[in-house]
C-alpha cells in the first residue's frame, strides 16, 4: 500500500474524508469531510484567517458561488479556462491528455505544452488508454472548458456558472469594497469558500476534485508607490525551483532568503516574495514538512494569461509534487476587464498632497456629425476618440484622426472632434490598482498535512500509527478516559470533560475498551493529549496526562487543568515544561 492509499484508508476509517453519496454509487470528484476532517478543515481555515486576514489587517467577504455569465465573459474564463482532453477511440473513455503524458514519460509539466506537441508525445511513446489499453496515437487532443453551467431563474434566458475560483467574487465587487476601505491603497480582501471545476479525470482523493474549498487573498496595491514590508520576512529561507532551473540540464532547487531572491531577481515581484516568506512560516505552523516542500515558478507556457509572474507552493506526497497554493502578480488585468465589460469605474481616486496644474488633452466630439456618419457606432467612436486623446494627443496633429474598434478603422476629421489642450488644476488622479494573489487549495493542504503527519512506531511490542499534528490543528485537543467505568471514576471523568468543554477545548470522552486501545484510537486521529482518571485521582484530585508523540505521561492537578491544556495547545507551554 503506497502513501496515498494508506492515508485514504485511514481517512475513511477514522472519519476524515470519504467518497460522497456512496449509497447511490457516488460521483467521482466529490468527497465528504467526516467529523475529524471537518474539524481539521475548520482549524486550518481559522489558522489561515488568523494569518492572512487578522494579522495582515485585511477585510473578508463571502460572495455567491453562482454568478451570471457576463462576469466570466469579462474574466476570460468562457474562452480560456480549459484542460486538454483526449478520448479513446476504442472504449470512449476520456482522459487528461497532459496527465497521460506525464504518467508515461519523463515530461513533468505537459500542461505547458501546445496540444499538437502533446499529440506527438502520445504517438512517439506509444501511450495506451489507461482504461482499456488501446493505443491513443492519432486521437485528437482538444480543449475542454471546466466550468459547470447552470440557469439563473426559470428557462434559459439567464445563463450562469458555478464559480471556478473565489477571486471573481472579489474583483466584481471592487467599486463597493474600495469604498469600505475608504479608497486608501493598499488594501486586501480575503475569502474562504467553495469553487467548482468539472475535472476530466478526478484522482488522488482530495488532490483533484470537482468541488473544493479555496482560501484566496486579493491584495490591491498602487504599483507606483506601495511596497511590502520585506524586512519582516527578509531572513526567511525559501526553497526555490525557478523556471531557469527547470529548463537547465543540471538545474535544481536553490535555498535563498527572501532578500537574496529579490536582490538576485529570482523572484521578480517584491510583493510575491513577501507572501512567499509569510506563507513559508504559515506552512510550518500548520504541520507541512519543510523537507517535502518547495516553491516552483511557472514556465512561460503554463503561466496564466493575467500573471506576469507566478509561483506554486508544492508539497511532496508519494513521490509526486502537488500544487497547494498559487502566488500570482495579476497586474490590473481583472479590474481593467470588468471596467471594460461593465462600464463601471474600477479605480481608486488618489488625493495629491498639493493641487497641481497640468496640460490635459480633451475632445468634445460633434455628435451631430458622428451620428449620421457612423450610426449605431457613433458613441463607441466618441469614446475611442476620448481614450486616444488621453493616450496619444499627437494623433490629432493631422487633419484626420483614425480610431480602431473591433478591428475596423473609423476616420474622423479633427475639426469634428473639438480637440484641445488646456491647462487644468488637479487635486488627484484615478489609479487602477494592481493585484497580488495568494490562492490556497484547502483540501490539498489538508491532504498534505495528514500525509506529512502520518507516523508509525512500536509501543509495548506492537506497531502504532499516529498523526503528529500540531496541537492547534488537531481535530480534538484532548481525550478524557476513566480507567474503569465504575467506583466514581466515570463520574469524575465526565465532570472533567464537561469543564474542559466549557473552557473552549475540543474534547472526546471514551470509556469503551482497554485503556491502551483508547489511546491508539486517539493517536490515529492526532489528538495531542489524553487525560486518564484512575483511583489515585479520586484520592488526590490529580490525573494522568499523556502526550501523543512520545507517549510520556505526567500527573497534573485537576485544578487548573483546562488552563494548562490551553497553554499546551497554543504553544505557550511544552510538555517538558510540566
Closest CA to 40 of 443, 325, 313, 326: 443
Give the SS3 label for residue 108: coil
| 434 pLDDT higher than 80 | yes
Q: Give me the helices (H) in 109-162, please.
A: 115-124
Angle among Cα 35, 39, 43 to the nearest 5 degrees reads 170
What's the confidence (pLDDT) of residue 305? 65
| 157 pLDDT higher than 90 | no
For 362, 405, 418, 510, the CA distances from 411, given in Å and listed in that order, are 18, 11, 15, 83
**pLDDT (tens digit per residue) in 526-535:** 999 999 999 9
Banded pLDDT at 203 (limits 50, 70, 90):
confident
**pLDDT (tens digit per residue) in 315-348:** 999 999 999 999 999 999 999 999 999 999 999 9
Q: What predicted TM-score, i.e. pTM, was given to this entire model?
A: 0.86
What's the confidence (pLDDT) of residue 117? 93
Closest CA to 86 of 50, 137, 147: 137
What's the confidence (pLDDT) of residue 275? 98
Q: Are 556 and 545 in contact (CB under 8 A)?
A: yes
**Which value, in Å, is the radius of gyration of the alpha carbons in the chain?**
29
What's the confidence (pLDDT) of residue 460? 85
CA distance 139 to 143: 13
Cell triple for residue 507? Answer: 474534547
How are strands ordered across the β-sheet holding 141-145? 94-96, 82-87, 141-145
**pLDDT (tens digit per residue) in 480-525:** 999 998 999 999 999 999 999 999 999 999 999 999 999 999 999 9
Q: Do domains 359-429 and 476-577 have the same CATH topology?
A: no
| 57 pLDDT higher than 70 | yes
Helices 442-453, 35-49: inter-axial angle, 10-degree rounding: 110
The gap from C-alpha 515 to its chain's centroid, in whole angstroms, comes to 41
- Torsion sign, CA atoms 299, 305, 307, 312: negative
| 409 pLDDT higher than 80 | yes
CA distance 178 to 346: 9
- Placement of cell 493575467 in the chain: 306
CA distance 222 to 406: 30
* Top-confidence residue, 351 or 475: 475
CA distance 89 to 136: 7
Helix-then-strand count for the chain, H and E? 19, 28
Closest CA to 190 of 212, 213, 215: 215
Closest CA to 322 of 274, 278, 283: 283
Which region among 297-301, 378-382, 499-503, 560-564 has the lowest average model confidence (pLDDT)? Answer: 297-301
Q: Which CATH superfamily is domain 476-577 in?
A: Anticodon-binding domain (3.40.50.800)
CA distance 377 to 365: 13
Q: Any idea which fold 359-429 has? A: 3.30.720
Residues belonging to the chain: 578
Q: Are 32 and 18 in contact (CB under 8 A)?
A: yes
CA distance 211 to 30: 6
Banded pLDDT at 77 (limits 50, 70, 90):
very high
Percent of the chain with pLDDT over 70: 99
| 427 pLDDT higher than 80 | no
Phi–psi pair at 210, nearest 5 degrees? -100, -20
Helices 3-14, 442-453: inter-axial angle, 10-degree rounding: 100
DSSP letter at 249 equals T
User: Which DSSP string corresponds to 6-53?
Assistant: HHHHHHHHHTSEEETTGGGT--TT-EEE-HHHHHHHHHHHHHHHIIII
What's the confidence (pLDDT) of residue 249? 84
Domain boundaries, the chain: 359-429, 476-577
CA distance 566 to 562: 6
CA distance 409 to 402: 6
Q: Are 189 and 353 in contact (CB under 8 A)?
A: no
**pLDDT (tens digit per residue) in 107-151:** 888 888 999 999 999 999 999 999 999 999 999 999 998 999 999
CA distance 290 to 281: 10
* Top-confidence residue, 555 or 461: 555
pLDDT, the chain, mean: 94
Amino acid at each position: 500500500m503506497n502513501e496515498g492509499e494508506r492515508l485514504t484508508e485511514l481517512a475513511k476509517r477514522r472519519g476524515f474524508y470519504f467518497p460522497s453519496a456512496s449509497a447511490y454509487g457516488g460521483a467521482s470528484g466529490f468527497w465528504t469531510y467526516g467529523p475529524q476532517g471537518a474539524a481539521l478543515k475548520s482549524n486550518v481555515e481559522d489558522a489561515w484567517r488568523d494569518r492572512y486576514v487578522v494579522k495582515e489587517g485585511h477585510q473578508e467577504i463571502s460572495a455567491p458561488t453562482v454568478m451570471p455569465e457576463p462576469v466570466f465573459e469579462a474574466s476570460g474564463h468562457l474562452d480560456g479556462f480549459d484542460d486538454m482532453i483526449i478520448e479513446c477511440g476504442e472504449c470512449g473513455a476520456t482522459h487528461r491528455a497532459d496527465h497521460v503524458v506525464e504518467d508515461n514519460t519523463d515530461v513533468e509539466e505537459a500542461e505547458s505544452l501546445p496540444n499538437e506537441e502533446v499529440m506527438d508525445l502520445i504517438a512517439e511513446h506509444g501511450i495506451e488508454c489507461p482504461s482499456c489499453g488501446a493505443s491513443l496515437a492519432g486521437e485528437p487532443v482538444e480543449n475542454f472548458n471546466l466550468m459547470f453551467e447552470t440557469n439563473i431563474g426559470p428557462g434559459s434566458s439567464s445563463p450562469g456558472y458555478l464559480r471556478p475560483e473565489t477571486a471573481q467574487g472579489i474583483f466584481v465587487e471592487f467599486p463597493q469594497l474600495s469604498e469600505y476601505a475608504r479608497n486608501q491603497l493598499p488594501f486586501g480582501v480575503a475569502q474562504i469558500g467553495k469553487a467548482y471545476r468539472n475535472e476530466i479525470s478526478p484522482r488522488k482523493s482530495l488532490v483533484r476534485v470537482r468541488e473544493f474549498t479555496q482560501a484566496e487573498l486579493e491584495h490591491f496595491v498602487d504599483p507606483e508607490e506601495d511596497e511590502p514590508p520585506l524586512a519582516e520576512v527578509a531572513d526567511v529561507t525559501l526553497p526555490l525551483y525557478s523556471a531557469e532551473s527547470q529548463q537547465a540540464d543540471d538545474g535544481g532547487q536553490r535555498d535563498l532568503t527572501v532578500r537574496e531572491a529579490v536582490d538576485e531577481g529570482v523572484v521578480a515581484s517584491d510583493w510575491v516574495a513577501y507572501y512567499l516568506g509569510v506563507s513559508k512560516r504559515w506552512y510550518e505552523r500548520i504541520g507541512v514538512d519543510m523537507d517535502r516542500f518547495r516553491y516552483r515558478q511557472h514556465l512561460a507556457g503554463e503561466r496564466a494569461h493575467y500573471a506576469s509572474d507566478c509561483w506554486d507552493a508544492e508539497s511532496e506526497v508519494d513521490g509526486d509534487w502537488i500544487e497547494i497554493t498559487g502566488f500570482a502578480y495579476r497586474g490590473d488585468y481583472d479590474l481593467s476587464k470588468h471596467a471594460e465589460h461593465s462600464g463601471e469605474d474600477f479605480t481608486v481616486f488618489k488625493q495629491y498632497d498639493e493641487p497641481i496644474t497640468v496640460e490635459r488633452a480633451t475632445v468634445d466630439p460633434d455628435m451631430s456629425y458622428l451620428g449620421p456618419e457612423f450610426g449605431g457606432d457613433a458613441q463607441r467612436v466618441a469614446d475611442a476618440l476620448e481614450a486616444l486623446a488621453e493616450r496619444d494627443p499627437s494623433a490629432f496633429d493631422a487633419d484626420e484622426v483614425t480610431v480602431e474598434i473591433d478591428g475596423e478603422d473609423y476616420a474622423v476629421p479633427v475639426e469634428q472632434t473639438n480637440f484641445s489642450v488646456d491647462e487644468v488644476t488637479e487635486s488627484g488622479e484615478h489609479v487602477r490598482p494592481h493585484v497580488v494573489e495568494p490562492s490556497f487549495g484547502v483540501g490539498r493542504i489538508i491532504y498534505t498535512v495528514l500525509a506529512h503527519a502520518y507516523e508509525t512506531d512500536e509501543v509495548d511490542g506492537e506497531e502504532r500509527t499516529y498523526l503528529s499534528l500540531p496541537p492547534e490543528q488537531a481535530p480534538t485537543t484532548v481525550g478524557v478516559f476513566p480507567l474503569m467505568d465504575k467506583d466514581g471514576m466515570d463520574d469524575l471523568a465526565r465532570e472533567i470533560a464537561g469543564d474542559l468543554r466549557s473552557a473552549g477545548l475540543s474534547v472526546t470522552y471514551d470509556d469503551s475498551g482497554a485503556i491502551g486501545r483508547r489511546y491508539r484510537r486517539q493517536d490515529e486521529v492526532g489528538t495531542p493529549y489524553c487525560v486518564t482518571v484512575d483511583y489515585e485521582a479520586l484520592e488526590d484530585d490529580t490525573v494522568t496526562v499523556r502526550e501523543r508523540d512520545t507517549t510520556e505521561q505526567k500527573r497534573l492537578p485537576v485544578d487548573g487543568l483546562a488552563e494548562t491544556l490551553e497553554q499546551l495547545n497554543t504553544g505557550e507551554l511544552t510538555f517538558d515544561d510540566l
